Every structure is written in structure tokens, then in C-alpha cells.
Chains A and B, each alone.
Chain A
Amino acid sequence: AQKVTQTQTSISVMEKTTVTMDCVYETQDSSYFLFWYKQTASGEIVFLIRQDSYKKENATVGHYSLNFQKPKSSIGLIITATQIEDSAVYFCAMRERGAGNTRKLIFGLGTTLQVQP
């Protein structure tokens, strides 16, 4: 069965620094997709970045990048030059490619990031 684990409950950093959020996953599938979503204080959940398991190159979008370590079943989210508005809850999620007909995402419990001025 799929499982996504985020061990860091909360992180606090100073503005303009770099932060890494951890995520490990469990899957029986050899091909899968990994995602990071962000939930703001208003409750809005937005997609940030995605990594396909068969791609060796780490995904990068703006000041978000991923540290994908397939042998360790790990997908860390790196935010560089953090800003106050990056304060939010960050969710890691996974979808198995060979999961039959379903496209459901399984989410971790989230990591709360607080960026201090």
C-alpha cells in the first residue's frame, strides 16, 4: 500500500534563507509521481512542483526545487531565498502510475513552515 511520511511537524527559518522539508514514501510500484502542494493560512491548496520517478534530474520551478533520492524513497522540497509569504503548510503527495484506473493522490500529514522577518 502507498504511504507518505513527513516527519517534520514544523520548521521556523529566517527570511532569505534556504529550507529543506523531508518526505519519504512507500510504494510497490516501479513508476510513480511525486508532488508537493502548499496550503496557505486561508486554506487554499495549490500545486507547487512534481517529480516523475523515472526522471533522474531533480525538478525545479522558480525558487522551489526537489532532492529526489530514489534508493532512499525520499523526495525533499528545497525552498531558496525564503520569503514571509512562503509561510504555509507543505504537503508531499504520491500517485502510483500502475495503480489501475485510479488517479488518487496520497498525502503526507504536512510540515508547517514559518518564515521569520
Chain B
Amino acid sequence: NAGVIQTPRHKVTGKGQEATLWCEPISGHSAVFWYRQTIVQGLEFLTYFRNQAPIDDSGMPKERFSAQMPNQSHSTLKIQSTQPQDSAVYLCASSLDWGLGTSQNTLYFGAGTRLSVL
């Protein structure tokens, strides 16, 4: 089991450019989460998919950010017209998404993509 795979590990964009971040969840996991980590805000929830369907996007900035999960093996987070304040580590996590047991509720995180907007 390779764990959650995120690509690229680092991305540098110029202000105003688009950035697309990729996530491959653990095989068999039906839930995918996106978080953003900064020193000031910590781990901020962005959005959550279950069986590829968007369930909760309450943390997504209303403009410029979008997420998709076109199939069960990958999800993307797209940031249009990137701004310096978008610089952060973007983390993807996956989990089983049924039942109340620990295994079903444990989030497994990827290594993250460090986005730097110059």
C-alpha cells in the first residue's frame, strides 16, 4: 500500500497563474479530504468527497478554488489566478467512509504539496 500520493511535492507559480494539485487516495478508500496548512491558520479544512461526490466544501474559498474527483483514484485541487496568500502546504487525506470504528474514521494524509506563489 503506497499510501496517499500527492503530486507535485513542490510547486512554484507566479502571481496570477493557475496551479493544479493532484491526489491519489489509498485504494479502497471512499472519502477524500483536502486541507491547507499554514503557520498562522494551522490545518484548515477545505473540502471533502465521498464516492467521488462532493459532500462538504464549506472550507473552500468562494473564488478561484475548485476541487474535483473525476474517478475513485484521483482528486484535483485547482487554484486559479494564484495570489501570494495562497502559499501553503496543501494536504490530501483519505479514509474509509462507513461505520464508527477507528479504522473507518482515521484520516491517512499524503506528504502534501508545498505551493509557493511569487
Residues in chain A within 8 A of chain B (CB atoms)? 33, 35, 37, 42-47, 50, 52, 91, 95, 97, 101-110
Contact = CB atoms under 8 A, between A and B. Distances in A.
A44 B111 contact: yes
Interface string B26-45: 00000101010000001101
A102 to B, nearest CB: 4
Contact of B31 (A97, A103, A106, A110): A103
Contacts of A103: 31, 48, 50, 55, 95, 97, 105
A102 B93 CA distance: 14
A102 B55 contact: yes
B106 A47 contact: yes
Nearest to A42: B111
A109 B111 contact: no
B22 interface: no
B89 A43 contact: yes
B49 to A, nearest CB: 11
Contacts, number: 57
Contacts of B111: 42-44
Interface residues of B, number: 26
Counting chain B CB atoms within 10 Å of each CB, the highest count among A43, A95, A109, A110 belongs to A43
A110 B42 contact: yes
A45 B97 contact: no
A113 B95 CA distance: 27
Contacts of B100: 52, 97
A104 B42 contact: no
Nearest to A45: B109
B102 interface: yes
B105 A33 contact: yes
A82 B107 CA distance: 25
Contacts of A108: 42
B56 interface: yes
Contacts of A91: 42-43
Nearest to A107: B43
B8 to A, nearest CB: 14
Given A45-B91, A47-B107, A109 B55 contact: no
